[in-house]
Amino acid sequence: MLWAIIDIFIEGENILHSNDVTLWGKKDALIGCIIVTYNRLEKLKKALKCYSEQIQAPQYVIVVNNGSTDGTEKFLNEWKTHAEKFEKYTIYSEVNTGGSGGFYLGEKKALELDADWIMISDDDAYPESDYLQGMQAYIESHLDENLSIVCGKVVEQDSYNNFHRGYLVSKWSRRIQLNVPEDDFKNEYFYPDFTSYVGIVVNKLKMEQVGLVRRDYFIWQDDVEHSYRLSKVGKIVGISKYQMVHDTMMNYNELSWKSYYGWRNFIAFRKTHFKKYFILSLFVSILKAILCPLRGKSKVEVILRMRAIRDGLLGNMGMNEIYKPGWKP
């Protein structure tokens, strides 16, 4: 009897002093990070510096080198030799598998590691120094809530009015998402339906439940689709106090090879998630594609849109043989 009591006491001490449990029995919200990079070495260096300077260090950082040809591989080999407060992992893909393929590889690796929360971001996105600390504090104080994603706001081109955090406004029109208005960031919290992969922190258990990002999207809309799936099994909570800086000057309205994937994946997304409204939304997309020259668009764009609509409808996914990275009208 005495030995049983002693064993119980020892076991209790082990629990109280384990790395994963606080004195009150509350599990620490360890956060690991995934960064996908492709030929943006200087931005990657800046991003990694931001992770090194976090007040609350991540559990690990995974960098997926998506077939870069600008010296990224050499840099990462050296980066791994420098000791930091977090573990370092690199994944090298011989070819560019698109952002979707890169994030798929990173998420697959993250599911094998210890952290129960996974931060996902691009190589041109920079978390402020208190970002992980703020995410972890919120998670640890809301363990009783059914959380799928926590995130901060994103500043891009000196504005918070961007697509990185959005509300669902329509299931049939071309515009399904409303950017979270800047006024909403005056509140302590906001609750988006969609997020981009710029600094979101995902519950590992929820990711295991809904699956990884769809790598066949190649690029664009992959994060929107994944976050929408995650929203069906738990809450998405934005914390206005904390922010990511997205270092891009991209004109999203300019026709490029990426435009094809945006249109195609938009169709694939709606076909999967909004079946009831899909025929109507498909008709609207076709009509807008045919009539877009009336708004000054070119015949090249009409063809691009129609090909994208066809491929999204038929499930022709992955990298398109015509609209490869670098294609220009």
The reply to whether 303 and 221 lie within a common domain is no
**pLDDT of 16 over the 60 cut:** no
The reply to whether 234 and 214 lie within a common domain is yes
Picking from 195, 219, 246, the residue at the C-terminal end of a domain is 246
* Backbone torsions φ then ψ of 70, nearest 5 degrees: -110, 20
The reply to whether 148 and 283 lie within a common domain is no
pLDDT-derived band at 148, boundaries 50, 70, 90: very high
Hey, what are 127's tokens?
A: 């978390």
- The residue type found at 15 is I
Q: What is the pLDDT of residues 218-242, one digit of tens each?
A: 999 999 999 999 999 999 999 999 9
Q: Which residues contact 319 (CB under 8 A, 6 or more apart)?
A: 98, 218
Distance of CA 81 to the CA centre of its chain: 27
**pLDDT of 52 over the 60 cut:** yes
196 domain-assigned: yes
Q: What is the pLDDT of residues 262-302, one digit of tens each?
A: 999 999 999 999 999 999 999 999 999 999 999 999 999 99
More confident residue, 173 or 157: 157
The reply to whether 95 and 193 lie within a common domain is yes
Cα-based distances in Å from 124 to 11, 164, 185, 248: 46, 14, 22, 7
HEC letters along 78-135? HHCCCCCCCEEEEEEECCCCHHHHHHHHHHHHHCCCCCCEEEEEECCEEECCCHHHHH
* Backbone torsions φ then ψ of 202, nearest 5 degrees: -105, 135
In whole angstroms, give the CA distance from residue 63 to residue 90: 5
pLDDT-derived band at 172, boundaries 50, 70, 90: confident
Q: For the purposes of burial, counting CB atoms within 10 Å of the CB of 146, is it exposed (0-12), middle (13-18) or buried (19 or more)?
A: exposed
The reply to whether 139 and 265 lie within a common domain is no
The reply to whether 297 and 195 lie within a common domain is no
What total number of domains does the chain contain?
2
Host domain of residue 55: 31-246
What does the mean pLDDT of the chain come to? Answer: 92
Q: What is the pLDDT of residues 81-107, one digit of tens each?
A: 999 999 999 999 999 999 999 999 999
Percentage with pLDDT > 70 across the chain = 91
The reply to whether 132 and 175 lie within a common domain is yes
124 domain-assigned: yes
Picking from 212, 246, 280, the residue at the C-terminal end of a domain is 246
**pLDDT of 27 over the 80 cut:** no
The reply to whether 209 and 92 lie within a common domain is yes
Q: What is the pLDDT of residues 28-38, one digit of tens each?
A: 889 999 999 99
